[in-house]
Amino acid sequence: MAKSKTAYVCNQCGAEYSKWQGQCESCGAWNTLSEFVVEAAAAKNGAVKRTGYAGAAEAKIVALTEVAAEAETRVRIGMVELDRVLGGGLVEGSVVLVGGDPGIGKSTLLLQTLGALGARLRTLYVSGEESLAQIAARAQRLGLPLAPLRCLAETCIERVIEHAQKDKPRALVIDSIQTIWTETLTAAPGSVSQVRESAARLVRYAKETGTSIFLVGHVTKEGGIAGPRVLEHMVDAVLYFEGESGSRFRVLRAFKNRFGAVNELGVFAMGDKGLREVPNPSAIFLSAHSAPTPGSAVMVTREGTRPLLVEVQALVDQSSLGNPRRVALGLEQNRLAMLLAVLHRHGGIAVYDQDVFVNVVGGIRVQETAADLPVLLAVLSSFRDRPLPDKLVAFGEVGLSGEIRPVPNGEERLREAATHGFLKAIVPKANAPKKNKIGEMEIVAVERLSEALDAVAG
């Protein structure tokens, strides 16, 4: 029997090397090379035969002019928040990778998804971690109809695909990809080679048969999906299921989507009957203060295709350290340091001897620059120990020279704020409507940071 050959693959970029080394020359990452088997284990007949799947059409070269200009076939799942994150529904033949911390609710979400699809499509839930009795008990607890839910407890990819070819499900869930292994490799399940080869076979099966597949992925302590980074490049969409410990709210975010908007957000609440959709996410991100509170500002951020109202809280306190702390939760910490420097230079407010803590309520992470202005207003409010005017909302990017830059979809953000009863808005001048008013909401258009600070001084 020939000795198996080994190589080393980078978990971050998928580059392969003949021997181990500390740094990947392709992406520059350190200590990311893992050993895997290159030569496939011999099959029973002495050779590994690679064949297509039953029903798969033979590939041929075609001109784009011959391709029908039709939109991809989508199926509405029936869960509005999940349909939104996917870009309008489940695309035929797509492969979606769902990652999240242990116990966050990934299996519950996908079981509810198959329950919603079961009346219209043939589905199959493949479990490599739980027994069928555990899945049935969860489905009963969630109040799902058991008849359309069909399950398989299997971890070998060859047998999973064999069952799928016979059963022909239109929606398939693999829970989880780290437990699946192939007979053609001798590496242990969960290794780089096993995860990559198993995922590649599932992707090929999905494209050739039009089956929509959900892959559940474990998350490492760094927050990324375990396994080779190339796994995220192989699939059509990557969704992360997030949530604060102790909170019943869950956020499903799209980090990659070939069929929809990136950074689209879906909000769920975990209850006794599983995950429930939150139709008005802005309400859960706004704290119900009985009275105006210093250090609190409300901003309008845009996640995917819709605006969300989010509360930003700041705490400024005298520091006893030689190097005052700058802590940002839900925002980029380096940007906070930059904004405080702009506040000092162009607003005349010095906080170099103060500890500054900034937090976005609800555990949401704001990645756009529209948060700059409300963050500075919240810091100023806490520093002066004076609350901002009631029913005030703000958004806008702050430049290094103290100018307030516009952000996309300004009027849509203002309409969302007016819908929730806000009476005053401080926005970049380029985002203000011509009449400086939307409904009953007064709009203050500013060009400089000093103008924004003067608008809240009274």
DSSP 8-state secondary structure symbol assigned to residue 362? G
Integer Cα distance of 259 and 348 in angstroms? 47
**Distance between first and last Cα of the chain:** 85
Q: What is the pLDDT of residues 309-329, one digit of tens each?
A: 999 999 999 998 889 999 999
For the chain, the average pLDDT equals 87
User: What are the helix and strand counts (H, E) for the chain?
Assistant: 11, 24
Mean pLDDT (whole number) for 147-176: 95
Other C-beta atoms within 10 Å of 78: how many? 15
Judge contact between 49 and 205, C-beta under 8 A: no
pLDDT digits (tens, 9 = 90+) for 131-155: 999 999 999 999 999 999 999 999 9
Q: By CB neighbour count within 10 A (0-12 exposed, 13-18 middle, 19+ buried), where does 67 fall?
A: exposed
Average pLDDT over residues 87-113: 92
Within 10 A of 121 (CB to CB), how many other CB atoms are there?
A: 16
- pLDDT score at 44: 47
Instruction: Say if residues 11 and 229 touch (Cβ distance below 8 Å).
Output: yes
Token digits for 12?
Answer: 């971050």
Model confidence over 241-278: pLDDT tens digits? 887 767 788 889 898 999 988 878 898 999 888 999 98
| Rounded-to-integer distance, Cα 337 and Cα 341, Å | 6
pTM value is 0.78
> Which pLDDT band, with edges at 50, 70 and 90, does 48 fall under?
very low
Give phi and psi for 6, each to the nearest 5: -125, 155
Q: What percent of the chain has pLDDT over 90?
A: 55
Question: Quick check: 34 pLDDT over 90?
Answer: no
Question: SS3 helix, strand, coil % of the chain, rounded to 5?
Answer: 30, 30, 45
- Taking the alpha carbons of 383, 389, 390, 396 in that order, is the dihedral positive or negative? negative
DSSP 57-83: PPP----GGGS---PPPEE--S-HHHH
What does the pLDDT read at residue 399? 96
**Per-residue pLDDT tens for 320-353?**
888 999 999 989 999 999 999 999 999 999 999 9
In the predicted model, is pLDDT for residue 184 greater than 50? Answer: yes
* Predicted pLDDT at 196: 87
Q: d(Cα 114, Cα 109) in Å, to the nearest integer?
A: 9
Q: Does residue 235 register a pLDDT over 90? A: yes
Residue 47 has pLDDT above 50, yes or no: no
Return d(Cα 55, Cα 121) in angstroms, integer.
18
Position 64 confidence tier, pLDDT thresholds 50, 70, 90: confident
Mean pLDDT calculated for residue range 199-207: 95
